[in-house]
Amino acid sequence: MKKLSQESLNCIHQLLDSFWIVRKENPDLFYEIKQNEGFLRDYFKDYFRFKLVVGTDFAKVEKFQVMPQSSTGISDFREIKDYVIFYCVLAFLDGKASKQFALSDVCQAVVSYYPRSSKEQFVKKVELLTWKGKEGYKNRQSLVRVLKEAVRCCLIEVMDKNIEDFQDRETNDALLRSTGLVKYFIRNISFNIEENMTLNDILSIQETQERELGVERRHLLYRKLFLEPAIYRDEVSAIDFDYIRQYSRHLNEHAEKYYEMNVDVYGSSAFLVKENVGTFRRFFPARNAESNLVIQFATLLRLKIIDNNDSLVEQKAGTVVLTNIDLDILCRQLIDENSHEWTTSLKSMSFPEIKNLITKKLFEWKLAASTQEGDLKLYDVIGRFFEKPKEEVK
């Protein structure tokens, strides 16, 4: 098996893990991608049916998951309003190539673009977005989160003052500049988003379009395997999971060659594992307090099952279903037994915050899912994570 250069592998990893590579931010990587453009274009097309786009100032792979995942949202956004304001800012930036503007200009534009609602039908009076008062303070916080994300995505630059000062007072201003990259930020779509369409409608249109572009089962499974934490038998068709089992050797060879990873396939799940964690992607568990918290939760759950706790019984395919009461009991026990080892940040959290953090991380890494009844279904993969007893740690 021909060994690829580390430079080529790094290009694949960075393109797969990042939204895009901006020349100004990472010139060495950008020019490395330019030099390997032919190879990279063929690689992403052959295995994923993804399109590599290389412009004058950026390079990116137009990638998307088979099914939308909650973990792919913007981590710093806290509510739907953040996303609405974000798109208002994108609309404002459209056409402003390398132009300077004030934060106050953004405020006016967001108010103009923001969807207006009426509490009563046939009433012309509408609610305008405000930057003043108690509600205005929340809106200013939302706009600051949006602008910080726009800076992180290299859509704008802060030229003077601090955008966070806007949180404290609506009259605090800042000078910003558009990078001109906004026109490449959003994927072109071939349908009218203003029509009343459900998520299933959009997915159906995408499926039809991709079928016409030659997307096959193997491309979709590569996307799930390399863009999602795990694949479970109950989320794909029996034919798809049988395909994974049948071609697991080929999938493993690919993972070893391009990512130095291995594909583990079990009766009800398949996922990637890596011996030595590198820096190009996020892994679980990471070396941080939040991962340690989830590992401690997984350890406590495993011990409960081993002890044959009547309320925690393994279900079909090794899953365990926790009611809200079960989850409360486990989280309280976790706090009682482990909080003395936690960081100051975790110790300062309330019980609801700890519980929400645990469930958020479980969903993010597809270690759990919600049932139709609102309970928490934990997958068997979580059983692979176990904290060693202190006397065994060396």
Query: Could you read off the pLDDT of 215-227 as tens digits, one per residue?
Result: 899 999 999 999 8
How crowded is the C-beta side of 129, counted as CA atoms within 13 Å? 22
Environment class of 244 (CB within 10 Å of its CB; exposed 0-12, middle 13-18, buried 19+): buried
Query: Could you read off the pLDDT of 344-393 as tens digits, one per residue?
Result: 999 999 999 999 999 999 998 889 888 888 889 998 888 888 777 665 44
DSSP 387: P
Query: Could you read off the pLDDT of 305-316 as tens digits, one per residue?
Result: 877 665 665 566
**What is the full DSSP assignment across 198-238?**
-HHHHHHHHHHHHHHTT--HHHHHHHHHHHSS-EEGGGS-H
Question: Nearest 5°: phi and psi at 243?
Answer: -60, -45
β-bridge partners, 314: 320
**Each residue's pLDDT tens digit in the chain (394 positions)?**
456 788 899 999 999 989 999 999 999 999 999 999 999 999 999 999 999 999 999 999 998 776 766 667 788 898 999 999 999 999 999 877 778 999 999 999 999 999 876 444 444 444 688 999 999 999 999 999 999 999 999 999 999 889 999 998 989 999 999 999 998 998 777 777 667 677 788 778 878 878 888 889 999 999 999 988 889 988 889 999 999 999 999 999 999 999 989 999 988 899 998 876 655 457 777 778 898 999 999 999 988 887 766 566 556 667 888 999 999 999 999 999 999 989 999 999 999 999 999 999 999 888 988 888 888 999 888 888 877 766 544 4
What three-state secondary structure class fits 322? strand
Under 8 Å between Cβ of 136 and 64: no
- The H or E element containing residue 354 is helix 351-364
- Sign of dihedral through CA atoms 245, 216, 37, 279? negative
Q: How far is CA 140 from the centre of its chain?
A: 24
pTM: 0.81
In this structure, which amino acid lies at residue 129? L
- Sign of dihedral through CA atoms 358, 317, 231, 200? negative
Under 8 Å between Cβ of 381 and 367: yes
